[in-house]
């Protein structure tokens, strides 16, 4: 009998798959099978970021240089007749004779910076408040969720207009910190709600109870044991929220409440060109296309990131 027990213990373990069960797909499985559309979206985002980063080096003209002689010059490939002084502009010029391509490159720096920094602000504030609400519950949870519900109940675009009207827009040529903060606090509620729901479940898990029993402080439990378990949802939300913030910045600049002229931004260029849609279509078309392509690439890439990081989608 003892020999049989020793033989069973020495036998190698064999994994038995349950009927109908699917093997868990690891992260590398998805990385090796990136859809072609995701590669295209990544190339578009990489191009936009590199163009914004190296705008002073690749811009063909000074984006602030004005000349009434070059006013409303069409793109060189449009086939329209142009004056000799208006030739040589790939995307044409605006109503002040400024190069559209150069202004779009410099405008990408502002639009992408506002979106990225705004996402970081919203993610940090929302995640921190969500973890506090879920971990401590009680009055802390009630107050934080009440603030989130109050902001969700009020149209944020109206709130942003009211804040900018009181504080005033950022001066031209300066870093638009007021706009960045306003855009950043526009979406903290989503992060807070998601983090709160996850923390309510995680704080009852055995490993959290063990750390608490061993004398671990609340701060250590939150930042060393709970935070790593909610990073994936935060990354997914931040990726999807970036496109929304770029559109929000463009909307405020379109209304004249964002980046002030002559500083270029995609939304500001779109708003300035709406008066010339019949005579100079390129003033609004190219900034609008840049906004559309960037947000579409971010949204599609965010969907893929969600599919990769979500364990339920990886297992199915």
φ and ψ of 196, to 5 deg? -60, -45
Instruction: For Cα atoms 275, 281, 287, give the angle at the middle one, nearest 5 degrees.
Output: 90
Write phi, then psi, for 127 (nearest 5 degrees).
-65, -40
pLDDT in tens, 1-59: 444 434 433 444 333 333 444 444 555 555 567 788 888 988 999 999 999 899 989 98
Give the CATH number of domain 41-315. Answer: 1.10.3720.10
Share of the chain above pLDDT 90, in %: 20
- How far is it, in rounded angstroms, from Cα 144 to Cα 125? 11
262: preceding bond cis by omega (within 30 degrees): yes
Confidence of residue 174 (pLDDT cuts 50, 70, 90): low
Q: State the pTM of this model.
A: 0.80
**Separation CA 200–CA 230 (nearest Å):** 12
Q: Are 301 and 41 in contact (CB under 8 A)?
A: yes
Residues ≥6 apart with Cβ < 8 Å to 300: 37, 38, 41
Residues 179-198: pLDDT tens digits?
888 888 888 999 999 999 99
């Amino acid at each position: 009998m003892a020999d049989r027990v020793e033989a069973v213990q020495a036998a190698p373990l064999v994994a038995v798959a349950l009927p109908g069960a699917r093997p868990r797909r690891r992260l590398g499985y998805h990385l090796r099978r990136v859809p072609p559309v995701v590669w295209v979206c990544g190339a578009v985002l990489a191009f936009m970021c590199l163009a914004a980063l190296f705008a002073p080096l690749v811009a063909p003209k000074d984006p602030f240089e004005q000349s009434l002689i070059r006013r409303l010059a069409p793109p060189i490939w449009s086939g329209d007749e142009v004056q000799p002084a208006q030739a040589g502009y790939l995307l044409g010029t605006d109503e002040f004779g400024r190069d559209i391509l150069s202004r779009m490159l410099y405008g990408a720096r502002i639009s992408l910076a506002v979106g990225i920094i705004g996402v970081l602000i919203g993610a940090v504030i929302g995640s921190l408040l969500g973890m506090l609400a879920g971990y401590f519950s009680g009055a802390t949870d009630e107050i934080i969720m009440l603030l989130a519900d109050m902001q969700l109940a009020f149209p944020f675009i109206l709130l942003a207009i009211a804040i900018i009207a009181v504080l005033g827009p950022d001066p031209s040529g300066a870093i638009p910190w007021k706009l960045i903060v306003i855009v950043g606090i526009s979406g903290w509620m989503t992060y807070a709600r998601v983090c709160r729901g996850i923390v309510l479940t995680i704080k009852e898990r055995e490993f959290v109870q063990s750390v608490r029993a061993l004398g671990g402080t609340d701060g250590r439990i939150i930042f060393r044991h709970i935070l790593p378990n909610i990073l994936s949802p935060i990354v997914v939300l931040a990726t999807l929220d970036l496109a929304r913030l770029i559109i929000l910045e463009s909307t405020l600049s379109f209304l004249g409440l964002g980046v002030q002229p002559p500083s270029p931004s995609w939304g500001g260029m779109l708003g300035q060109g709406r008066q010339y849609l019949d005579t100079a279509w390129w003033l609004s078309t190219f900034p609008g296309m840049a906004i559309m392509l960037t947000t579409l690439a971010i949204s599609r890439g965010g969907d893929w990131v969600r599919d990769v990081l979500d364990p339920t989608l990886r297992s199915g």
